[in-house]
Structure 1
Amino acid sequence: MKSAYRGIVEWLSWFDARDYEFARQVLQRGTAALYLVAFLSTVNQFPALLGERGLLPVPAFLEMARRMGRPTLFRWRYSDSLLRAVCWTGIGVSVLLVIGLPQMGPPWLPMLAFLALWFLYMSIVNVGQTFYGFGWEILLLEAGFTVAFLGSDQTPPPTTILILIVWLVFRLEFGAGMIKIRGGHEWRDLTAMFYHHETQPMPGPLSRQAHLLPRPLHKVEVVGNHGAQLVVPFFLFAPQPLASIAAGIIIVTQLWLVGTGNFAWLNWAAIVLAFAAVSDSVVHAVFPFIPLNWHEGADTPVWWLAVVVLVTVLLLVSSYRPLLNLFSRQQLMNASFNRWRLVNAYGAFGTVTKQRIEIVVEGTMDEDPRAPDERWLEYGFKGKPGDVRRLPRQWAPYHLRLDWLMWFLPLRTVHEDWFYAFLDKLLKADQATLRLLRKDPFDGERPRWVRARSYLYRFASRDEFRRTGERWVRVLLYDAVPPVQLKPGRRLTG
């Protein structure tokens, strides 16, 4: 009997990851901060994009998708006021978690707080249509659900949940690496970075400088990427300090991506989650001012142990299809295998676009849009390239959804419902839509005509920039959407 009891105590001591308190603090507060950004991005953009009078109105979507089977608070009723209430609730809960107040209570308190964030944001993603079809949406959902079971300051961090978070980072990194190896030849011949910094969806202020680096360094970038995504993730499961070193390599590579582009909270989420493999001992060795065992925590209650074990089994069972997907020739990228958006497949940039095509939207007050002296004025977007002199801004982890979808237009087709709805809103000078833009050349007045033109963009060389002051060189290709106007009855016509 004593030996059995001693065995249980030893198992419980393995369950308690007492050397990972710093990791828990980073995971909980960092994930909550990302939810804060996500809800803030939503409350600022969702009504204009998807609201009652948005480009793709949710009420119309719900009429067609009553049986979609995905959980959402808006299943039977949507209103912009309800959406804002959901967002501000999420923002409030996120702030409390960032501060650390729920973590000071019993373990069920931060659990409920994170589960609330997960369900509230899932309710938004499941009606967000194409504007919420990005991989970092499901990544944030899975992270929020898993982090919910890290407990509170009253209990040690549970080892199984930390391992599940490491498993999430492994799928995120290794999945992206496998997508690249199976994708375009540019990843295999090491030329991908000849193009990536220039053609990525939303360049940042340092993207041009990164693009202008010597080509041998770009090949080093690709080799480093392959190592960080195809080799390093396996060492996340190794004993310390190897696991912490592997996490450090992932964090450094993700910081490089943060500095050279705008990928919403994708890179920041990878950085936060990688801390699941970093022990207090290693942190203290590198940063001695961070104390060891700064929150000892009491013993784990049996009821909390039961909850965590149940969740661990659930997520492990759900890992079967994502695991097979990693080694499948038909590997899926950014896919969910269940309606709750848990244990997903991830990956990005299986191929790299070789040329940057931008859709530039213009309007005019002239009666005849084809007159030789017509005057067209360009709408300015907050994040996507337009003005050739303007330095790209750093927006990540904030997500500019309209700007991102504008990048996809030339890769698919400009003849998408949301884009024609956008042009219609410009013709009506819709204020909610105009607030999504950086510049309205008509100062709130209605243009008579709008059009969309396709341009080839490339970064200016250093010599070109010194001569002209222009960071981009662009060449007109064709009219993607010829001039259109509103006819009586408020219909968009050409």
Structure 2
Amino acid sequence: MDWFTAPEYWLSRLLFQRALAGVYLVAFLTAVLQFRALLGERGMLPVPRYVERVPFRAAPSLFQWRYSDRLFAGCAWAGCAVSAALLAGLDGLLPLWAGMLLWLVPWALYLSIVNVGQTWYSFGWESLLLETGFLAVFLGNDEVDPPVVVLFLVRWLLFRVEFGAGLIKMRGDACWRKLTCLYHHHETQPMPGPLSWFFHHLPRPLHQVEAAANHLTQLVVPFLLFAPQPVATAAASLMILTQLWLILSGNFAWLNWITVVLAVPALDLPTGHRRSAGPPLWYEVVVLAAAALIVLLSYHPVVNMVSRRQVMNRSFDPLHLVNTYGAFGSVSRIRYEVVVEGTRDDVPREDSDWREYEFKGKPGDPRRWPRQFAPCHLRLDWLMWFAALSPAYAGPWFGALVERLLEEDRDTLRLLRRSPFPPGEPPRYVRARLFRYRYTTWRELRETGACWDRTYVREYLPPTRLTATVQAP
């Protein structure tokens, strides 16, 4: 069936698959490096405790049948290995059916992690990676040309990512409609990057242009993805440029990178006269069946998008096959940070020798310039940003974090940039205080060398020791 495939998108498919494999690799490496402290048997939110109360049908996962830290590590490392193999192009050397099964492996492994990841894996880009990874299973390899229906579904996913984000902004915070949200966003975003200070100090008229361009890219351009070429290529290129701007201005894990990946199959790249053999009948049947399933499951995300009570980043099925997306429906005007400190004094007083724990990505020492971590996802640092917004976000895990610091837990300390205490000398007390952070001005930066100025607000958690169970703030 000539209508079934689009040989002119052969190179676009190749770039999409290799880039997606790279994102998978980052996601699995992040899991390898962080899971023990977050989800392990002695983690802050242990998987065994979670699967005891959540049935398989609600959260399908390999770990519903059995969990151990060694098994989790094995799955995560296996995901790294398969992702690296896909990045190297192993799927192109296999028969079509074997290549599809190879793409199914990282999707199944990452689904198993996300579905037991609890609040640490509650971000929209987890579902976005799974939905994208599921579509990649059906894109085929060198034996067949890219199927048109799957290319369309990839554009449909990109449309929902961008249009959903645009709608949630227009329906949410009034500053998006007034074009003033970016007066604050670069300063109050979850994890600023090395250039965020400079983005914040751009002239306000340029911030308004940024906001207007965002609305254009998210509310108008997505419809052009379904236009004939070269219009679709122009639309996808504009989306890629917008995502690169966001990559420069902050640390949003792999959200922006996977959005760039999704735009690649819409690009009409020169491929010469390459044409593969016709697709086998079984492949056509499988692809059309998968497409019908995706169309059917799109009902709830579409209803959500047109609803006045639109929600962001929600999965409507436990396999995360079709989801709803969106980000920054509201923008904070003030940045708060939770600063965690410890002391070895026997009696904690205000004038005790309190030493500050330093996190890798979130602001701490006002003189320490933010670093670039994306596409890596520092999950604890992100949740600390939410904890500063409201103690309710920290309820399930903050007490456990303090306990691990008091115990000098090795896996937890590895999540931090630096512990202020030498090995073998843990603190006797740990406390947390809430500070207001703001970017310094150009003059303050020249005079003090500090990119942040911080002001004490209130106590977040009183001095706490191990003699009693630590209560969350």
- C-alpha distance in structure 2 between counterparts of 1:339 and 1:375, whole Å: 49
Asked if residue 83 in structure 1 is aligned to residue 72 in structure 2, the reply is: yes
1:390 is aligned, of 349, 368, 374, to 368
Secondary structure of 2:28's counterpart equals: helix
Aligned to 1:462: 442
Residue 336 (structure 1) aligned with residue 336 (structure 2): no
Q: Judge which range, 356-365 or 63-72, deviates more.
A: 63-72
8 Å contact kept, 2:160–2:325: yes
> What residue identity is the alignment partner of 1:343?
V
Render the CA deviation track for 1:100-159: whole Å, top value 9, x for unaligned.
Answer: 111232222221112111111000001000000000000000000001100001110000
Distance 2:244 2:126 in 1: 20
Residue matched to 1:243: 232
**8 A contact 1:41–1:398 mirrored in 2:** yes
Aligned runs of 1:409-488 on 2, under 5 Å?
409-413=387-391, 416-444=395-423, 445-487=425-467
Q: Does 1:263 align with 2:252?
A: yes
1:36-185 matches, within 5 Å, as 36-66=25-55, 69-185=58-174
**Structure 1 residue ranges (4+ consecutive) displaced by more than 3 angstroms after TM superposition:** 490-494
Q: Which residue number in structure 2 is paired with residue 4 of structure 1?
A: none
Aligned-pair CA distance for 1:271: 0.1
For 1:298 and 1:451, the matched residues in 2 are separated by 66
Q: Name the SS of the counterpart of 1:205 in structure 2.
A: coil
Aligned to 1:360: 339
Task: Tell me the residue number matched to 2:265.
Answer: 276
Considering only CA atoms, is the larger Rg found in Structure 1 or Structure 2? Answer: 1
User: Counterpart in 2 of 1:305?
Assistant: 284
**Other structure's SS at 1:481 match:** strand
Deviates more, 1:344-353 or 1:413-422: 413-422
Alignment pair present for 1:13 and 2:2: yes
- The letter of the residue matching 1:411 is L
User: Percent of counterpart pairs with the same letter?
Assistant: 53
> How far did residue 68 of structure 1 move?
5.3
**What is the identity, as a one-letter code, of the residue corresponding to 1:492?**
V
> What CA deviation, in whole Å up to 9, does each residue of 1:64-98 have, x standing for no partner?
22365221000021100000110111111101110
Paired position in structure 1 for 2:356: 378
Separation in structure 2 between the aligned mates of residue 376 and residue 158 of structure 1, nearest angstrom = 61
Q: Is the 8 A contact 2:56 2:64 kept in 1?
A: no
Q: Note if contact 1:485-1:493 (Cα within 8 Å) is conserved in structure 2.
A: no
TM-superposed deviation, 1:371? 5.3
The 1-side partners of 2:318 and 2:287 are apart by: 21
Give the direction of change, closer, same or farther, for the CA distance of 1:253–1:493 in structure 2 (3 Å limit).
closer
Structure 1: state its 5+ residue gaps.
1-11, 285-290
Paired residue type of 2:5: D
Shift of 1:292: 2.5
**Contact 1:103-1:109 at 8 Å conserved across structures:** no
Report SS of the residue matched to 2:314. Answer: coil
Tell me the alpha carbon deviations over residues 275-325 of structure 1, each in whole angstroms, 9 at most, x when there is no partner. 121112xxx4xxxxxx524x4322211221111111111111111111121
1:147-226 superposed matches below 5 A: 147-226=136-215
**Residue aligned with 1:453, SS:** strand
The reply to whether residue 326 of structure 1 matches residue 305 of structure 2 is yes
Listed as ranges, the gaps of 5+ residues in structure 2 are none
> Using a 3 Å threshold, how does the CA distance of structure 1 residues 153 and 476 change in structure 2: closer, same or farther?
same
Residues 264 and 396 in structure 1, CA contact (< 8 A), matched pair in contact too: yes
Q: Give the distance between the partners of 2:242 and 2:133, measured in 1 at CA.
A: 23
- Where 1:330 maps in the other structure, the secondary structure is coil
- CA contact under 8 A between 1:202 and 1:383: conserved in structure 2? yes
Distance 1:493 1:254 in 2: 40
Structure 2 CA distance for partners of 1:470 and 1:371, relative to 1, 3 Å: closer
Amino acid at match of 2:362: K
Which residue number in structure 2 is paired with residue 7 of structure 1? Answer: none
- Whether the aligned pair in 1 keeps the contact of 2:57 and 2:318 (CA below 8 Å) is no
Q: Distance in 1 between matches of 2:290 and 2:353?
A: 62
What is the alpha-carbon distance in structure 1 between the residues aligned to residue 272 and residue 447 of structure 2?
Answer: 56
Partners of 1:292 and 1:231 in 2: CA distance? 32
5 Å-filtered alignment, 1:278-297, equals 278-280=267-269, 284=270, 291-293=271-273, 295-297=274-276
1:449 Cα offset (Å)? 0.7
Count of residues in Structure 1 that have an aligned counterpart in Structure 2: 470
- C-alpha deviation, 1:390, in angstroms: 1.0
**Residue identity opposite 2:27 in structure 1:** A
Structure 1: distance between partners of 2:246 and 2:458: 33
TM-score (norm: length of structure 2) = 0.97
Matching residue within 338, 344, 348 for 2:327: 348
Contact 2:399 2:471 in 1 (8 A): no
* C-alpha deviation, 1:417, in angstroms: 2.7
- SS of equivalent to 2:216: helix
CA distance in 1, matches of 2:401, 2:350: 25
